[in-house]
Amino acid sequence: MSMQGMGGFRTLFARLAQRRGSAGQVSFAWTPEAERMRSALEMHELGVQLYRQRMRREHPEASRADIDGLVRGWLTAPPSGGWLRLPSRGQGHGYAR
């Protein structure tokens, strides 16, 4: 299974909006919750693309399947120790739960 299809959520939202629009409503307005969800999914997709690009740069000899495996492993790996490292925070304040 390739991780290339990470835009599936955006496609799903677009199809739902199209169906809703063709069901007789003149325009489709996203609710604030739907906008936040769409933004979160777009940020996730961007993060995956950036990680894939990084893996290609760090492993230029790797095949596409190898890169897919690295990305899949990154996506499914549990967080280390349950803590999220926030490198932009000042010293001693860089961890959040």
pLDDT tens across 26-67, in order? Answer: 567 889 999 999 999 999 999 999 999 999 999 999 999 999
pLDDT value at residue 1:
39
pTM of the model: 0.56
Residue type, 52: R
pLDDT value at residue 94:
47
How would residue 20 be classed by pLDDT, with cut points 50, 70 and 90? Answer: low
Decide which of 39 and 3 is more confident.
39
CA separation for the pair 16, 62 (Å, rounded): 38
The number of C-alpha atoms within 13 Å of 2 and in the hemisphere containing its C-beta is 8
Using DSSP, state whether 95 is helix, strand or coil.
Answer: strand
